Structure 1
Amino acid sequence: MNWILVYEKELNSNHLIQLTGERHLHIQTILKKNLNESIQVVIPGSGNYLFQVHSISENSTTLEKTESLPNVLKPLDVKIFFSLPRPQTGKKLLHLSGGYGVHSVYFFGTDSKNKEYWTSPVYGKDLNSYLETGMSQTGNSQFPNVHAEKNASWRSFLKSWKGKVVVLDREGETLSKDFLNLKETEEKFLFVFGPESGWKPDEILFFKESGFKILSLGKINLRTEFAYSAFLHQLFLIKN
């Protein structure tokens, strides 16, 4: 991690925080910081800061907030829909969402055979930790909103979306930079990523009958995390 992530509620009234466990070990063994040296810190919902090493012991490192920094990136205020992926893929999607500061992520079980994935801690108690890992990597301070919709109808959700739904499929029209550069893209659009096996014919028919735009990131099959990374990177280059 390039940044140490702390929460505002962890700071005391003197702007000090005592870190133990993984964060303490990272500062001492990876960053190799000594007394009075500076550390980059990201505070979710607040921004980027420099903290100074105030004291060190065998089991903890105490940091003091010293100054604010310009935000390292502009978060991507996009809304993303995923057909519930395998937990190992889900970890990567959450990491990317935290790294780029995606506004909202929705997980839906679109296929009966993937409902078993809901039992994974990736979509439960461990979910926030993967977002935090991404934020610690890039310094993004916008904590994504993640919705694990275990029982809701995904078709009803898409039909009721207050804006434009864009379905990503390799058979669609090419997703252009001009399209991504639209001012309202981040505010009104929901981008829909399907299962790695591809959308079924009846699902494609549903999209067309619903008037959803179908666009492609390219004519090759990509794993979900690679397609998502490519999409976010294109958007990042335009917005930043």
Structure 2
Amino acid sequence: MSVLGSDLIGKVAIITGGASGIGRAVVKGFASQGAKVVIADIDEEQGEKVLNDMVQMGGEGIFCRTDVSSSSSVSGLVQKTIDTYGRLDFACNNAGVEGVTAAIADALEEDWDRTININLKGVWLCMKYECEQMLKQGAGCIVNISSVMGLVGNSGIAPYVAAKHGVLGLTKSVALDYARSGIRVNAVCPGGIYTPIIERLVDTMPEVVEGLKALTPMGDLGFPEDIANTVIWLCSDKANYITGQSIPVDGGFTIQ
């Protein structure tokens, strides 16, 4: 990842869902730019491993076990960040679950609740406590990870689609709340990305992965680093007049 400049060096970033996939790539991307990184995830073992890898590459940071659907857990995450580093400059709200595939008549209420609580309420809670701190500082930048399913619909995954659409609505509203307070809020909408979910499908349902590639105008899926590069650019001074936007990184999927 190329260096964007000195504007990220020594700054502090929280990455939720930082233990794997896109989150892990964002963690490593911020560390490569000289930021101090707080890795937040419910998976303690994997989170500590990512922290170890980051430190090995010369980065600085901490791990904080976090359940983004819990107000006390998220407030504790932000407080630990402040206790450790004294400030919060950037946040990437990435934690999420894929949910259960089912048409709505067959769907279970508990599956809806879990998907919405993590994918939507979790982003709301994270922004609530992140913005509280950023307002004290008079500056900050937040990037929420939505999905191309936040821009279009898809059968069988209504709770996931609803949550990811909701993330874009939250992004726009909070961007307007704080547009004159030095806080920028944007969203990134990944298309098909080679994450652990896709890697499992390669082994178990390769035809699904090939189908995703065929539906993508560029003919292949993206990599977590493609999302990380976009997140870090949005947090840099090079994007300082951008707020409230939802940027697809999807190989052309949503322009069809």
If the length of structure 1 is used for normalisation, what is the TM-score?
A: 0.38
TM-score by length of 2: 0.36
Higher strand proportion: 1
User: Which structure has the bigger radius of gyration?
Assistant: 1
